[in-house]
Amino acid sequence: MSEYLRKILYLISFTAVGVTISSAQDRPSISPYFQLQYFKNTKDQAYLQTTLTYSLNRIELPLPGMVISFYTGEKRDLPLGTVMTDEDGIAKLPLDGKVRLPFGADGQWTFNSVFDGNDTIDQVAADISVVNMDLEITLSKVDSIKKIELKASSQINGKKVPVIGEVVIIYVTRMFSLLPVGEITFDDNGTGTIDFPSDLPGDENGNITILAKIEENPTYGNIEKRVTERWGLPTSYTVPETHRALWTKTPPMWMIITLSILLSGVWGHYIFAIISLILIRTDAKRKKVNDEYKIKV
Amino acid sequence: MKGRNNSDKSSRRKFLRKLGTGIGVVSLTGVPGASVIAGSKTESGEKIKLLSPEGRLVEVDRENIRPARETTDYIKEEARKGLHGRKFVMVIDLAKCRNARKCVEACQEGHMLPKDHEWIKLYLLQDDRNTAPYWLPRPCFHCDKPMCVSVCPVGATYKRDDGIVLVDNQRCIGCKFCMTGCPYSARVFNWKDPEVNLPPGQAYDPETNIPPVEGTVGKCVFCADKLRRRELPRCVTACPMGVIYFGDLLEDSITNGEETVRFSKIMDERAGYRYREELGTLPSVYYLPPFQRLFPFERGLEDVDEETRLRYRDAGPR
Amino acid sequence: MQADRKLLYDLTPELTRTSTRWYITFFIFFAFFAFGIYALILQIDKGHIVTGMRDNVVWGFYIVNFIFFMGLSYSGALISGVLHLFHTAWRKPVIRLAELITVISLVIGPFFIFFCIGRLDRLYFLFIYPRIQSPITWDVIAISTDLVGCFIYLYLSFVEDFAILRDFDELNVAPWKKKLYRILSLGYSGTPRQRKLLSNARTIMSAMIIAIAIIVYSVLAWIFGVTLQPGWHSTIFGPYFVIAAVFSGTGLLIILMWIFRKIYHLEEYITKRHFVNVGVLLTIIAAFYGYFTFSDYLTKWYGSIKMDSILIDKLFNQYYSLFIFANYIGILLPGIIIAIPKFRTIPNITIAAIIALLALWVNRYIIVIPTLETPFLPVQDPRPDWIKYTPTWVEWALTMAGVSIFAMLFMLVSKIAPVISISEMQGKDQSEIMK
């Protein structure tokens, strides 16, 4: 399936399309954007996340402090809880197993989130359905070739079924973003393998965090697996010529030596001249005493 | 992050970003000048809400709070050290630039610069009559052999271990030697009172160079304050074409906010180079030649105002 | 100490009486100076925006004046230093003038750096946070060392004169001046031991100030030379600046010789011979200076690295008249005037010196400004004043203030001690000196 088609599908089925229920009064109100997403992190903890924003002068602004209600079930009638949006307009609801999630006909879960609106903000709702995917990541080293193997399966009607044809991107974590290092498409067994590049820098010890990520998949939502391994090249950064250079705090040795020689040479002569002047003065004093002595005698 | 009104928050956050390195969180809710000691043993059970370096509200036990050294001296000391084990690098793709000037605007807004101060400047260059003209965004190059730092008589401008060259405008005496030393005209001088309205008591931070001071020098700081929060520089995120890539050279990875690529790979594939390599200043900013450009260079003269167009009236082959 | 009565009668009258003309002249200079102070206050209050300097041309008139005044200080190093070492007899009547030029211009020069500094209130940072990698720090050290050295040297040459003035009973001056002479003469009475001490100290210091002067001006040149800027990044700059400095110092010496000869009636002591001798010196230096100038521009033009050729192109177009005046007329004309014996009259030599001095100032200007207007990345700015440097009245006012304070200090010093050294003149074969 092409990337483009996937995106279209995602837009239609997965992302929350804000359903605006217009209020009775004819006064200006905010019609917010509302998005519901399903996440499953590396510890296999799943959660739902909504983002509530609105557009002001073409700038997207968050709506913090709003109460979002989450539901599940075929009829979206089983309440999961309510969460208040944070300062980024995001509300997260962990699916920690307190509520048994009912499966749909195709083994999917259905979720629904609602923001009830208030005097100025319109009511919005969004829903998604997700099939639970179990993702496994295995790192192995064969003849110094580093291999990443992924295995994915889902539970449909109590049966374990391999995930076929889905694409997973492999990343490594970097300071500002994730660096993609490869792509795995699951084969008929729900597995896939790639070689990991041998020349990627890790941290000081060569540790590198590898990430397998399925993003915004129309069927499975967002799933990630991360694992840290000493597969990177150890980096050590020593600032070249840290201690003595033109542009550091401490100057190069030759500068100090040259300056000292020049200054001591010159000021030495100055001192000689000043001492001469002092001697002239003392000589004058001695002469004066002598003269007075002569007069006395 | 996109489009959020950041102006008051960024100034506040400046105080707060030191949690990652251990100390220095200032309260947002009535505990002015407090900080957190990580891993303190005793707890009182009484929680206090504080703003974390990431700008989130966190709860901290009262016992773990002690007054922060959030003074200018402390901030300046941290700003001289830089981020440990990093070497920042910027890559500018000349094939994508069309003089949209969003980088200039974001930079000026983020650093409270007056309209006539441009830390990142856009040049229209043509090396010769027979070669093609191109747009060249020029931030500070944060050279590894920085002429400006070498010639500074008082150590007001300095190079940090992470490669960033900053100016301490409370140390700068305004001799302008760095401005003649820099072969890239990257520095600007506060010829008059900058007239910036700041909340009273705002501490000075060399990582933003806010507040600016009359009679001192300013320049691009690679948004050192944002890097501390693991955020990309303002010009990088503001660019609508994704022209500017930024990253850590040691991680061999750069990103323009959209795509992330390996630095070595893009240098190899796109024949990256540095501006006037022969000068030997070893810049941290690399350029990708304007090969198969996305826009004809004339596009850069179309969407700009008259005054901006005026500055390129004499541009041409040199 | 007793001295030749005739010398004392001839040289001391200016110490005892002050003419109305002196007061008027002094007042005019003071007015210029005061106006400069006003301009400075305005600049400190409003910021450097009141000058013509902008982000590209960050150094303007002030730096030009700084190099210029520092260069003038070379007259002392040359005339009194070099000629002292070689025991040239004819130097004696002009030695005091040369030393005064040295010290006074050394005092004034650094002030122009201060005018150029954005935050004068932080000037002391230069001493509490020094970085010896910076040529400015070298300059701070070198100039202060030079200043101290030149003061010592000047004082050494004054000791005998103060002793003579102290012991000259007929000198009718204010009691405070008498007291000053008594204190400053250090009880010098010309005993063999004192003579020897003074003579030794003077010989050593004369060698020292030559060395220091060369270092100071080289360091000054290196402020430009060490940068990467086109036109500045040149190995020849050190010696080039030194020779240019000697050129200007000698030129100013001739001008001052003419002024004091006229006003203080020293025709008997400063004769045509002195003008011709110093003039010939000026010509020789002009030859060297011209050679360096030619050498510098020739290599830049012939090798024609792009930035150098852009710069030279600018010099021969935008700066054409200034360039011709500074580097052709200013060097050749003084040489021609002095080299041809028929032209060698006192007024002609003085005119040649004036031309040389002005041309040298312009030469400094076209070294500093065009380079700053030609950065590696072209200046692309909508504002004309950002592209082309034009000095404002503030910079003119402060330049005039510098010239005025130079004149004022000279006028004041000439009232405390004679501008011709009495001690140097006496006991010598007069015909040898005055010939």
Residue C79 clears pLDDT 80, i.e. is over it: no
Final residue belonging to a domain, choices B33, B49, B70: B70
Q: Contact B173/C123, CB-based, under 8 Å?
A: yes
Residue B58: CB atoms within 10 Å = 15
Q: Contact A235/B3, CB-based, under 8 Å?
A: no
Same domain for B244 and B145: yes
Q: Using a CB-CB distance cutoff of 8 angstroms, which residues of chain C are in contact with residue A262?
A: 215
Same domain for A198 and A118: no
Does B271 fall in a domain? yes
Does B57 fall in a domain? yes
Same domain for A203 and A123: no
Does B316 fall in a domain? no
Residue C401 clears pLDDT 80, i.e. is over it: yes
Does A51 fall in a domain? yes
Nearest to A266 among C132, C153, C208 (CB): C208
Does B317 fall in a domain? no
Task: Scan residues 120-139 of C and list those with Cβ closer than 8 Å to A.
Answer: 131-133
ipTM attached to this prediction: 0.89
Same domain for B213 and B93: yes
Domain with A88, as residue range(s), is 3-130
Does B41 fall in a domain? yes
Chains that touch C (3 or more CB pairs under 8 A): A, B
Q: Does A254 touch chain C (CB under 8 A)?
A: no
Q: Contact B177/C48, CB-based, under 8 Å?
A: no
Q: A144: domain CATH number?
A: 2.60.40.10
CA-closest candidate to residue C256, choices C354, C342, C119, C181: C354
Same domain for A212 and A152: yes
Does A27 fall in a domain? yes
Q: Contact A266/C186, CB-based, under 8 Å?
A: no
pLDDT confidence of residue A58: 81
Which residue on chain B is closest to C62 by alpha carbon? B175
Same domain for A126 and A7: yes
Does A147 fall in a domain? yes
Q: Contact B173/C47, CB-based, under 8 Å?
A: no
Q: Contact C380/B189, CB-based, under 8 Å?
A: no
H/E element, A150: strand A145-156
Give, as one character, the DSSP assignment of residue A12: I
Nearest to B123 among C133, C229, C380 (CB): C380
Q: Contact B192/C47, CB-based, under 8 Å?
A: yes
Q: Tell me how close the Cα of A246 comes to any Cα of chain C, in angstroms.
A: 6
Nearest to A285 among C131, C132, C187 (CB): C187
Q: What percent of chain A has pLDDT over 90?
A: 31
CA-closest candidate to residue A273, choices C186, C189, C214: C186
Q: B222: domain CATH number?
A: 3.30.70.20
Give me Rg for the CA atoms of chain B: 21
Residue C78 clears pLDDT 70, i.e. is over it: yes
Task: Scan residues 251-270 of B and list those with Cβ closer than 8 Å to C.
Answer: none
Q: How far apart, in whole angstroms, are the C-alpha atoms of residue A4 and residue A6? A: 5
| Tally of domains within chain A | 2
Q: Tell me how close the Cα of A256 comes to any Cα of chain C, in angstroms.
A: 8
Bond prior to A162 in cis (omega within 30° of 0): no
Q: A81: domain CATH number?
A: 2.60.40
DSSP chain B: -TT---HHHHHHHHHHGGGGGS-----SSS--S-EE-TT-S---S-EEEEE-TTS-EEEEEGGGEE----SHHHHHHHHHH--TT--EEEEEETTT-----HHHHHHHHHTT--TT--SSEEEEEBSSTTS--EEEEE-----SS-HHHHH-SSS-EEE-TTS-EEE-TTT-----HHHHH-TT---EE--S-------TTPPPBTTTTBS--TTSEE---TTHHHHHTT---HHHHH-TT--EEEEEGGGTEEE-SS-EEEHHHHHHHHT-B-TTGGG----SEEEE--TT-SS-TTHHHHSS-HHHHHTTTT-SB-
CA-closest candidate to residue B37, choices B12, B11, B61, B54: B61
Output the CA angle A138-A140-A143, nearest 5 degrees.
165
Same domain for A119 and A153: no
Same domain for B270 and B157: yes
Residue C287: CB atoms within 10 Å = 14
pLDDT confidence of residue A149: 92
Same domain for B121 and B62: no
- Which residues of chain B fall below pLDDT 50? 1-41, 69
Domain with B58, as residue range(s), is 7-70
Q: Does A204 touch chain B (CB under 8 A)?
A: yes
Q: Are C183 and C163 in contact (CB under 8 A)?
A: no
Same domain for B110 and B181: yes
Average pLDDT over residues C285-301: 92
pLDDT confidence of residue B11: 38
Give the tens place of pLDDT for each residue, A164-191.
888 999 999 999 999 999 999 999 998 9
Nearest to C136 among B123, B153, B315 (CB): B153
CA-closest candidate to residue C100, choices C424, C357, C414: C414
Does A297 fall in a domain? no
Give, as one character, the DSSP assignment of residue C388: S
Q: Are C378 and B304 in contact (CB under 8 A)?
A: no
Same domain for A114 and A224: no
- At A273, the amino acid letter reads A
Q: Does A215 touch chain B (CB under 8 A)?
A: no
Does A264 fall in a domain? no
| Tally of domains within chain B | 2
C125, C155, C189 from A273: Cα distances, Å: 31, 10, 18
pLDDT confidence of residue C383: 87
Which of C144, C189, C227 is most worth mutating to test chain A (most A CB atoms within 10 A of its CB)? C189
Final residue belonging to a domain, choices A229, A250, A275: A229
Residues 6 or more apart whose CB falls under 8 angstroms from that of A19 comprise A124, A125, A126
Q: Using a CB-CB distance cutoff of 8 angstroms, which residues of chain A are in contact with residue C228?
A: none
Give the tens place of pLDDT for each residue, C342-394.
888 888 899 999 999 999 999 999 999 999 999 999 999 888 888 899 999 99
Q: Contact C152/A276, CB-based, under 8 Å?
A: no
Same domain for B98 and B58: no
Q: Are B91 and B272 in contact (CB under 8 A)?
A: yes
| Structure tokens given for C138 | 């070298």
Final residue belonging to a domain, choices A196, A229, A262: A229
Give the tens place of pLDDT for each residue, C196-239.
888 899 888 888 888 888 898 899 999 999 999 999 998 999 99
Nearest to A270 among C152, C187, C191 (CB): C152
Same domain for B127 and B50: no
Final residue belonging to a domain, choices B70, B92, B112: B70
Does A71 fall in a domain? yes
Query: Which domains does chain C show, CATH number per domain?
Result: 5-434 (1.20.1630.10)
Same domain for B262 and B123: yes
Same domain for A49 and A166: no
Chains that touch B (3 or more CB pairs under 8 A): A, C
